[in-house]
Structures are given as C-alpha cells and as structure tokens.
Amino acid sequence: MKKITIQTAFLVVAIIAVFILPGIFVMHYGLVELSDSKMKDDHYISINGILTSYEENCNSDGSLNCLYSEKYTYTVDNIEYNIGSRGRHNLKPKIGQIIEIKYNPTNPKEAILANDS
C-alpha cells in the first residue's frame, strides 16, 4: 500500500482551496442572484421610466472611446424616483428615451431596469 506524503496532502488541500471552494462560492452567488431576479420578476410592477441624464467617461489618451451610464426617472403615486443603470456601454444614450422599470409595490424606491433583471 502506497503512503501519502505530506507534499501530496498539501497539494490536494491547495487544489481544494484554490479551485473547488471559489467555484462553490461563485455557484452559490449565481443561484442567489437568479432566485432574487426571479422573485423581482414575479412581484415587481412594470412602469415606464425616462432617461433623464447620463454620465460620460472617456479615455484620457485623446481617443474617442467613451463609456456611458444612464440615470432614469420614474413616477409612482406622484412621487419621482431615480435609478441608474448597472453597467456601462459605448453607445451614447438619448435623453428622453423610454425604458421599462420594475419596482417593488411595497417600497417603490426599490427598482430594477427590466433589461437588467
């Protein structure tokens, strides 16, 4: 019968620590996000929001490469709320653009952009 050396045992523990545990964490996080997104899709109310402003971040090297993040406004019971996009992209947005927003009926300031869900 072959003996397991300390180096072999250390290697097995290192592989578990480096690959398996982070994989389990990432998978768990993804499942939680998926479950949260599904709950919002089922319980949140859809409403139209309007693009009211955006932030432009361009490279400082003189190139025309810019990234944009949008800010939207939506109204629930005559109260205005704001929500920002979760990501950035390179297409310049158009002020006044209409987008679907989903909000929590018990707390309207909790909202998501429908295309981010």
Q: Using one digit for the tens of pLDDT, what is the confidence trace for 45-98?
A: 999 999 999 998 888 776 678 889 999 999 999 999 999 987 888 888 899 999
Instruction: Summarize pLDDT for 18-55 with one digit per residue, the tens.
Output: 877 777 777 776 766 655 555 556 688 999 999 999 99
Instruction: Spell out where 1-117 has E strands.
Output: 45-58, 66-76, 79-84, 98-104, 107-113
| Residue 13 banded pLDDT, cuts 50, 70, 90 | confident
Q: Is the pTM of this model over 0.85?
A: no
Within 10 angstroms of residue 37's Cβ, the number of other Cβ atoms is 13
| Residue 25, both tokens | 């964490």
Q: Please say whether the beta carbons of 54 and 70 come within 8 A.
A: yes
